[in-house]
Homo-oligomer: A and B are copies of this chain.
Amino acid sequence: MMKTYTLPRLIINLKNVRSNYRELCKRSNGTTVGAVVKDDSYGCGCADVVEALVQEGCTTFFVDYAPCGVIVRQKAPQADIYCLQSLGLDTLDEIKQAHLIPVLGSLEDLQIFKQANLPDIPLAINIETGLNRLGFRPSDIQTLSSEDRAAVKLCLSHLACSSYTYHPLNGQQLQRFAEMKDIFPNAKFTLGASDAFQLGPRYYFDIIRAGANLYGIDTFETNRDYLKQAMHVQAAVLQIADLPTGESVSYGATYKATSPRKIAIIGIGYGDGLPRSLSNGKGKVFYEGHEIPILGRICMDNIICDITDVPNLQTGVLVDVLNDTYTADDMGIDAGTIGYEIISTFGKNKRFKRIVIR
């Protein structure tokens, strides 16, 4: 009696996340490495990731909104927790209760912050230097009183083109940001995210915000072998069948067999977060070193794969969808997107049997 597995599996390896954090700290020239754990830690599970990083001594966390900060606070009672999406009336109570630090992006945010009367929460601001996203514009900064300027404890900005080492905007943003040092004399400064490690120490300032690299995402094609994958995905072979010549596969009959093929029907689909854009030959899975192409369209629950050249595959075994050698970055390229979207999407799906390696 075969068919041990039918459910797909999502494996979060916290040992790898911890290893990534340690490796990044080694390369930071002593600069504080903060952890970006927004978007449920890019789908890897915020509570689990924070718990793991606290054990590595991480005391600075960046979240999106206050509800994520509340989760971090439970695992990191002493940490500085910054909310990158600032604050609004709908998150003010959580900001107060969990003692979160909203990174204010505008004069309006500053007004809300002041009116909310949060004397114990330090003033942190986002400074727009070229991404044209959230942040104080130059004209906003000019209107700040000297009292406000002196009260700012953290200045943050974010690079637009940091994954392109030689993009001229990097240097421009660096210069604009460095000019803020005179304006905010009492603030710590943070500019670079994971890519700062590639751009070099001029981008480090006081805190490097490590996000992507923590999870094994590497937007540079540099084969940094010290980065390990936080997420593996596996799926089960539900059925093996013959596909006769002339028969088509899946919706729209976009693949038609021109010779007899052996196919495996595998239990994963876009309902689990496998991008549908991997349909029609763009996607693949792996088994014992064999690369197994996906035929036709990806379904909500299934893919149909060509296993003609994989003699040993049997029903009930697991194939690799993401592993150490076919990473989120690799799938991102095949799917026409980036590794960030890959893990963020897989990570949310409840249908997986979720396994956390601590």
Q: Flag whether A106 is at the interface (Cβ < 8 A).
A: yes
Q: Which of A111, A112, A242, A344 has the most CB of B within 10 A?
A: A344
Which residues, 301 to 358 on A, are CB-close (under 8 Å) to B?
A: 301-302, 304, 315-316, 336-338, 340-341, 344-345, 348-351, 353
Say whether A1 contacts B112, CB under 8 Å: yes
How extensive is the interface on chain A, given as a class? 35 or more
Q: In the bound complex, what is the Cα–Cα distance between A308 and B168 (angstroms)?
A: 28
Say whether B241 contacts A271, CB under 8 Å: no
Please give me the residue from chain B that is nearest to A303 by CB atom.
B133
Of the residues B131, B169, B271, contact of A344 by C-beta under 8 Å: B271
Q: In the bound complex, what is the Cα–Cα distance between A108 and B2 (angstroms)?
A: 8
Of the residues B160, B169, B243, B301, contact of A85 by C-beta under 8 Å: B301
| Residues of B with C-beta under 8 A to A276 | 337-338, 341
Q: Flag whether A288 is at the interface (Cβ < 8 A).
A: no
Q: Chain A 35-51, CB within 8 Å of chain B: the 1/0 string?
A: 00011101000000000
Q: Flag whether A132 is at the interface (Cβ < 8 A).
A: yes
Say whether B267 contacts A131, CB under 8 Å: no
Say whether A133 contacts B89, CB under 8 Å: no
Say whether B250 contacts A160, CB under 8 Å: yes
Say whether A161 contacts B253, CB under 8 Å: yes
Say whether A169 contacts B253, CB under 8 Å: yes
| Residues of B with C-beta under 8 A to A243 | 132
Q: Flag whether A134 is at the interface (Cβ < 8 A).
A: yes
Which residues, 103 to 123 on A, are CB-close (under 8 Å) to B?
A: 105-106, 108-109, 111-112, 115
| Residues of B with C-beta under 8 A to A247 | 130, 132
